[in-house]
Amino acid sequence: MSTKKNNEKIKVAICGGSGYTGIELLRILSGHPQVIVKAVTSEKSAGKSVGTLFPHLHKYSNLIYEPLDKTGLLKKADLFFLALPHGASQEAVNFFFSKGKRVIDLSADYRLSDPIVYEEWYGLPHKYPATLKKAVFGLPEIHRRNIRKAKLVANPGCYPTSAILGLLPAIKVRLIDVSSLIIDSKSGTTGAGRKADLAVSFCEVNEGFKAYAVGTHRHIPEIEQELSLAAGKDVTVNFTPHLLPVDRGILTTTYARLEKKIDAGMVEKIYRDTYKKEPFVRVLAHGLYPNIKNVKGTNYCDIGLKLNERTNTLIVITAIDNLVKGASGQAVQNMNIMLDVDETLALDTPAVFP
Amino acid sequence: MSTKKNNEKIKVAICGGSGYTGIELLRILSGHPQVIVKAVTSEKSAGKSVGTLFPHLHKYSNLIYEPLDKTGLLKKADLFFLALPHGASQEAVNFFFSKGKRVIDLSADYRLSDPIVYEEWYGLPHKYPATLKKAVFGLPEIHRRNIRKAKLVANPGCYPTSAILGLLPAIKVRLIDVSSLIIDSKSGTTGAGRKADLAVSFCEVNEGFKAYAVGTHRHIPEIEQELSLAAGKDVTVNFTPHLLPVDRGILTTTYARLEKKIDAGMVEKIYRDTYKKEPFVRVLAHGLYPNIKNVKGTNYCDIGLKLNERTNTLIVITAIDNLVKGASGQAVQNMNIMLDVDETLALDTPAVFP
Amino acid sequence: MSTKKNNEKIKVAICGGSGYTGIELLRILSGHPQVIVKAVTSEKSAGKSVGTLFPHLHKYSNLIYEPLDKTGLLKKADLFFLALPHGASQEAVNFFFSKGKRVIDLSADYRLSDPIVYEEWYGLPHKYPATLKKAVFGLPEIHRRNIRKAKLVANPGCYPTSAILGLLPAIKVRLIDVSSLIIDSKSGTTGAGRKADLAVSFCEVNEGFKAYAVGTHRHIPEIEQELSLAAGKDVTVNFTPHLLPVDRGILTTTYARLEKKIDAGMVEKIYRDTYKKEPFVRVLAHGLYPNIKNVKGTNYCDIGLKLNERTNTLIVITAIDNLVKGASGQAVQNMNIMLDVDETLALDTPAVFP
Amino acid sequence: MSTKKNNEKIKVAICGGSGYTGIELLRILSGHPQVIVKAVTSEKSAGKSVGTLFPHLHKYSNLIYEPLDKTGLLKKADLFFLALPHGASQEAVNFFFSKGKRVIDLSADYRLSDPIVYEEWYGLPHKYPATLKKAVFGLPEIHRRNIRKAKLVANPGCYPTSAILGLLPAIKVRLIDVSSLIIDSKSGTTGAGRKADLAVSFCEVNEGFKAYAVGTHRHIPEIEQELSLAAGKDVTVNFTPHLLPVDRGILTTTYARLEKKIDAGMVEKIYRDTYKKEPFVRVLAHGLYPNIKNVKGTNYCDIGLKLNERTNTLIVITAIDNLVKGASGQAVQNMNIMLDVDETLALDTPAVFP
């Protein structure tokens, strides 16, 4: 870790720090030379040491979970990560934002720019539409410029990150028919959160595999919002999530009909060109496909391409770690951009393979 | 096991009995009251006892692997299961068939009725086109009547079984646009066979997930052949297989654009009607989805349905055990049909869950 | 399944039928030709069909969970399996037993013959010491004769079954020093039961391994009771359970100092002789070791032996399926003995391997 | 990574860089600010880029595997890591050592100080006994002072590291009877190496668990050598390794009879005192037990303690990552000591949990 003195570092707080995205933020930030975690909240674990509850975070033995006292937290940090449940985040984000703090919200509450769409999919009204207007969707590969000056970043969902990064280059050059998009995603079980729930108990998940929330998952409007923006017209997608018996990783396989004749080399070039300056997107050679195992614990998004000429279809396959590029890693990437420091700080360690 | 005397039982031989489909045949047949396994071949394991090599098959302690001596085998059995590698099966099938034996071939060699398509996908010519013409594609849900009188059954591939059973009802009633079929399959690792291969070593597969052979897998022509038959016109499909870090199971998620307006109840009815007499197909209520864990070790195919009205798409999800309904169980089902005994003999044990 | 008419079959009821041992009883009994399950209880799932809740048990679509109404159940069945939590079982067992029913109790409540030892380890007094005296410890390899005439069988714990079967032959011939016993056990996660509990959630268990309840597990007095009986003197054991990231299986590695000089062949002979008539114990050749994968879903106990002359130690390794020989399978074996039918009925299917 | 210029960094080479320990060295060293990998050898992968073969190591895209040309390598590096097979390492170590290079050998060839013991367990004579005499056994917790000035460090085996760290404190204070040691170890599958081998194929290992090489494993003499040194007398141990269906991690459970009366607090104090200055040993409170999941990918050794007064036994449980503290991490720790830099450089990242 850096030898910089603590009092020179940026002070951050994590609200909701005992779930998987919360402890992943702590893990990543433990290697950040310019940031210090000054507070972390958890109602259930209040009073306990992070290092005791999570032995892998023994570096935080002196950091104690505290209840979410928003006013009390104000003086402790300059930047707030919120990893609270959807809905609960609305108010907390608005509070810290209104007090002039920088906020990175890992919930879904500020991702959908249209409050009507939000209400439609989340079943409750958005109480802070004015704040919502200030939020920037935190996918650096699309919105880096706005993230840089943002006070409030809505960190994307895990599935949307994997889907959007896969389809973006093809959509931008009008290569594919956006009315025919099929997004078939498979996620590791950390995606379901850290909870006591029979449905995610070991013996129910292990050696199993299933789809869920077919066509109804709340990440759908997020995907459609960003792809519509890229396409310049309304995009509607088929999205099917599946539950993989692994800890981490999302593999998303997308299918789209081609609008023009093209060869495989050209497809690869479009993807390489789009992402050539991106530190965390790795485009594989045409015909090679990513494996979630190669991105585990990292902020990378690996992309594989297949032009199927028999069927006139472009197949794009992306792999990310749902807790890193799909959540906490992307949040730190966004923080780095907001702070105008090296975007890869704390994020450039290789996967622990195998 | 049955108290019937051994000499009254049907005598069968298994050529290629030390791979995963071979030992699965032995496992299933060990519970069959009317069949006795008289010979099992393996070049590598010749001379060894089945029960010694595979402790779970200790009932076969006195059954010894022998080299594949076709002429010698003739007198030992009346019905032959062939679980030989593709290509190698061509000649052996022709031999036993030409000698008047009943043959169930688990390889791909006799599945494609058109020898030109075979050569195109398998890279070698078919040497026995006359025999090929006599082969029946062994999917009982489509070809039961022909299987009953067949001398040669080409047992379907695992992926094709899962894909065809899922799409068949919708295609038969012209519900879906067959030019838009997307078949996204995920298979357990036994699908790769029993072999010393770094690519399927534990540490490479475990906690991983990836696609392979995208748009080029050899099961594609098999799927297209049967779906074209059902559609009454040429069908071309997008097919993407993925490797799951589990022992057994295939989950196939298919997407098709709807040709007509319909409601969910009607879709479910179409599926229930199609399979109402099928002993091994279980149609779930609309909106419920199958899990491979519920079919592990069984011959069942579970089917889940989702009518997505937002996108005008029908999504069908099927789950089978790739080694049972996808291989050896279906082979025994075909045998039962050929022998005109109860089709479920040796096949109606519940999954070992969890 | 048998063609015997239902009204000729033995009627059984399962109290506590929605946990892993309960549904495993249902799975096994579904293949039993002489038994019919007439009732199954579950407070939480009352009113639901077994087949709906557990798709692999679709054969029981017409069997509905009901609340545990002891009096109402009396007329429904002749033999009762109790798979209730420890403590709760005390009264139910006493009730059915006092009404003249045959009872097989899968809880720990009637395993310890001394009520003082029971209270010491379970923290509550035994309210039915008179009934307790009538209970037979249901390990057929030791107590078959008494089981045959028993009205109440206390089905052994999973760890005790694996430990006792491994040590019994050596203790009976005074081969080992019983003051030095080390029992190191590793169990699959079904051993923890079916429950919503963070500690057994997929992401906590998967890719992990740990010991728990070291030297304090409640199965210790059970092991000591049976080994003391075999030794003819008080035996105290070191017992360490560990949690394996697999669904099923216990592997127990035991260490004991040798009391006499002996060779490996003789050790193997002692074990083979002890178990030569046992249908479910398979002694491997000296130097070969069992794998839980080979007994998964079966009632077998595989035993491996190693005479370590360098250290004067006998190492015995046993493998069972904790839900079968370690619970429900052994319960059915006990039932078969009590009913004086073939002891292997419903229990001789091979493992689903791999 | 550091901004230090490459030409100021220590130049290292890795001989045998395509196995699991080799790529783990590369992973760890990629985060080391004072080291640069100048060469990596592999006969099979010669000519291929590290980054291409192992996507998680894309930082090494310009590092190309080369054949092991010892003379050619001499000028490329100052310090050599050897991750060659046992036996093959003998000569290479001697070569680099005799040319004045610093060598860290991850094979077993220089671990056993007595060449006769080496020959006894490895079946071949040691050809360089003079060099062997100069080798220091690279367990920093015992031999740090000698490692600091060593030119040749024999990096310990994975099992010995876990066993020795667990037993050392108790032996040093004469707390336990060293004639009664039982070491029951369970290792993840990376311990078997990276290879095409049916025995480690996914479907054979997954959902399985077994012991192997009981009482005959080659790590036994290594454990005995170091424990004898600590005890001041000859120690003989029972050692049983088992294969866990996880990628990484060793959990070792040891049992020893107590020589004196002691209480739990005092045992914990002995362990804490022994390791109080050790950066990579974490002693848990008495009665808490480690989980391999908490040390995955890290150089930590977590230790749990249980004083069993009923049986007069001390049980010590250790958890390490077999590829890190059990191999490549410890090698880097040794390198840091030899180079007299901060011992934790490149080694203080938290585990990726879950």
The pLDDT assigned to A7 comes to 61
What pLDDT does A5 receive? 56
pLDDT in tens, D311-329: 999 999 999 999 999 999 9
Contacts of B352 in chain D (CB under 8 A): none
* pLDDT for C8: 84
| C97 pLDDT more than 90 | yes
In the A/B pair of chains, how many CB contacts fall below 8 A? 150
Whether D31 sits inside 8 A of A349 (CB atoms) is yes
Whole-number percent of chain A with pLDDT over 90: 96
Report the pLDDT value the prediction gives residue B186, as an integer from 0 to 100: 98
- Kindly tell me if the per-residue pLDDT of C17 is higher than 90: yes
- Grade residue A180 by pLDDT with cuts at 50, 70 and 90: confident
Give this complex's ipTM. Answer: 0.96
C-alpha gyration radius of chain A: 20
pLDDT at residue B283 is higher than 90: yes
* Nearest CB neighbour to C350, from listed B56, B207, B353: B56
Give B239's contacts in chain A (Cβ within 8 Å). none
pLDDT given for residue B7 in this prediction: 61
pLDDT in tens, A23-41: 999 999 999 999 999 999 9
Binding partners of C (≥3 Cβ pairs within 8 A): A, B, D
pLDDT at C192 over 80: yes
What is the reported pTM? 0.96
d(CA A318, CA C37): 50
pLDDT of residue B2: 41
pLDDT at D68 over 90: yes
pLDDT for the residue numbered A175: 98
Residue A172, Cβ density class (10 Å: 0-12 exposed, 13-18 middle, ≥19 buried):
middle
**For residue range D70-104, what is the model confidence (pLDDT) as tens digits?**
999 999 999 999 999 888 899 999 999 999 999 99
Model confidence pLDDT, tens digit, residues B297-333: 999 999 999 999 999 999 999 999 999 999 999 999 9
Which residues of C are marked as active site? 158
Are the C-beta atoms of residues B264 and B307 closer than 8 Å to each other? yes
**Residue whose structure tokens are 């969970």:** C65
Sheet bearing A79-82, strands edge to edge:
A65-66, A35-41, A10-15, A79-82, A102-105, A152-154, A136-137
Length of chain C: 354
pLDDT band at C87 (very low <50, low <70, confident <90, very high): confident
| Chain C residues contacting B via beta carbons under 8 Å | 1, 20, 23, 27, 30-31, 54-59, 190, 207, 247-248, 282, 290-291, 294-298, 302, 348-354
pLDDT category of residue D207 using cuts at 50, 70 and 90: very high
Question: What distance lies between CA B192 and its chain's CA centroid?
Answer: 14
D231-269 pLDDT tens trace: 999 999 999 999 999 999 999 999 999 999 999 999 999
Taking residues C84-91, report their average pLDDT. Answer: 91
Q: Are strands A313-320 and B10-15 parallel, antiparallel or unpaired?
A: unpaired
Question: Is A337 within 8 Å of A147 (Cβ atoms)?
Answer: yes
Closest CA to C182 of D237, D315, A134, B291: D315
- Average pLDDT (D259-288) is 97
**What pairing do the DSSP bridges indicate for beta strands A281-283 and A182-187?**
unpaired
* DSSP one-letter string for C181-238: -EEEEEE-GGGG-S---GGGBHHHHTT--EE-STTT-TTHHHHHHHHHHHHTS----E
Q: Say if CB B165 and CB B301 are below 8 A apart.
A: yes
Residue B3: the pLDDT is 44
Q: How far is D3 from chain A (nearest CA, A)?
A: 13
Tell me the mean pLDDT in the region C23-38.
Answer: 97
The answer to whether residues D328 and D24 touch, using CB atoms and an 8 Å cutoff, is yes
| The two three-digit tokens of residue C19, written as one number | 């946990």
In the predicted structure, residue C220 carries a pLDDT above the cut 70:
yes
Omega into B221 within 30° of 0, i.e. cis?
no
What's residue D312's pLDDT?
97
Closest approach of C10 to chain D, Cα-based (Å):
35
pLDDT at site D334? 98
- In degrees and rounded to multiples of 5, residue B17 shows phi and psi of -110, 15
Stretch B161-178: mean pLDDT: 98
| D20: its two tokens | 């699991």
Tell me: the pLDDT tens digits for A107-165? 999 999 999 999 999 999 999 999 999 999 999 999 999 999 999 999 999 999 999 99
Query: Helix, strand, or coil here: A104?
Result: strand
pLDDT at C86: 85
Angle, in degrees to the nearest 10, between helices A158-172 and A140-149: 110
Instruction: Tell me the pLDDT tens digit for each residue of B87-134.
Output: 889 999 999 999 999 999 999 999 999 999 999 999 999 999 999 999
- B353/C23 Cβ within 8 A: yes
CB contacts < 8 A, B to C, total 68
Q: How confident is the model at residue D2 (pLDDT cuts 50, 70, 90)?
A: very low
Residue-wise pLDDT tens digits, B184-202: 999 999 999 999 999 999 9
In the annotation, is B158 catalytic?
yes
Q: Does pLDDT of C266 surpass 50?
A: yes
The answer to whether the beta carbons of residues A274 and A188 sit under 8 Å apart is no
Classify residue A123 by its DSSP letter.
Answer: S
> In terms of DSSP bridges, do strands C313-320 and C301-308 run parallel, antiparallel, or are they unpaired?
antiparallel
d(CA A288, CA A322): 21
pLDDT-derived band at C6, boundaries 50, 70, 90: low
State yes or no: pLDDT of B218 exceeds 70: yes
Quote the mean pLDDT of chain C: 96
Contacts of A202 in chain D (CB under 8 A): none
Name the band, by pLDDT with cuts 50, 70 and 90, for residue D8.
confident
Q: What's chain D's average pLDDT?
A: 96
Q: What residue has token string 């004639």?
A: D179
Q: In whole angstroms, how far apart are CA A154 and each of A93, A114, A144, C55?
A: 10, 13, 13, 40
pLDDT at A95 (0 to 100): 98
Copy the structure tokens of residue C283.
């002694």
**C10 pLDDT exceeds 80?**
yes
Q: Which residue of chain D is at minimal alpha-carbon distance from C317?
A: D211
Chain centroid to Cα D136, Å, comes to 13
Q: What percent of chain B has pLDDT over 70?
A: 98
Name the pLDDT band for A323 (thresholds 50, 70, 90).
very high
Test A315 with B238 for CB contact under 8 angstroms: yes
Neighbouring residues of D141: CB distance < 8 A, sequence distance ≥ 6: D165, D168, D275, D278, D281
Measure in Å the smallest separation between the Cα of B191 and chain D Cα atoms: 10
Is D294 close to A56, i.e. CB distance below 8 A?
yes
Tokens standing for D302?
A: 């977590």
pLDDT, position A3: 44
Is B186 in contact with A242 (Cβ distance < 8 A)? yes
How many angstroms separate the CA atoms of D229 and C123, rounded? 46
Q: What is the mean pLDDT of residues B60-72?
A: 96
What six digits make up the tokens of B86?
Answer: 């593709």
Catalytic residue annotation of D: 158
Residue D162 has pLDDT above 70, yes or no: yes
Compute the average pLDDT of residues B343-352.
96
